[in-house]
Structure 1
């Protein structure tokens, strides 16, 4: 009986030692952004992320071939009605190599867990790169 308990304990210990519990999502996780602007198609958007806190949207612009471009936060929620898309904050003018904390009211107006994204626009040919996260942890 003691050998059996010892064997079970050893097997359990080995399994716990090599177990992968996955990564924990945090505000430090960011999504890569690449915007393409054309004179005849000036709009581009990020992929959607879920918004869980009443924090700013973190946005870091790294490279920009335009003098500046505009970013507006949007939300998709059935609570909005219609197609479910609406702006949740004011537009911000973005310059290359700067960090921005974009004000939005997604959680305050529509609750936690809704999808948000950033829509960018610039009238002219060019591109922009950066990273963003829906929940930056800064209030």
Structure 2
């Protein structure tokens, strides 16, 4: 049996839109929390699929309580930077527990996204501009 999680436990639902710097928790198992952070909101650019969405980082930082750890950005990411809509907060899967300024280190993370509609050999930045390197 795998110890990996495939579903999250819903917590507190919220209609409040996330803002940059919001720190949130996800709960894959009862009283097992991982921390995420909203890096950018209301994304604009050429990629229409990202319009109005949010860029988040989810850190491999485990806790049994919802207290924000010191130096959250020093933790590795649980998975690559991700673009999400508001549904995680609306349905209670993301619960905001505080706000911290987005750090320079977080702003300088090098990432990109494959184009799902093409051959997946093209890599794009958040604004939808083609980039020619991929650290895959």
TM-score (norm 2): 0.29
Larger RCO (alpha carbons 8 Å, 6+ apart): 1
Q: Which has the higher helix share?
A: 1
TM-score (norm 1): 0.29
Q: Which has the higher strand share?
A: 1
Question: Greater CA radius of gyration, 1 or 2?
Answer: 1
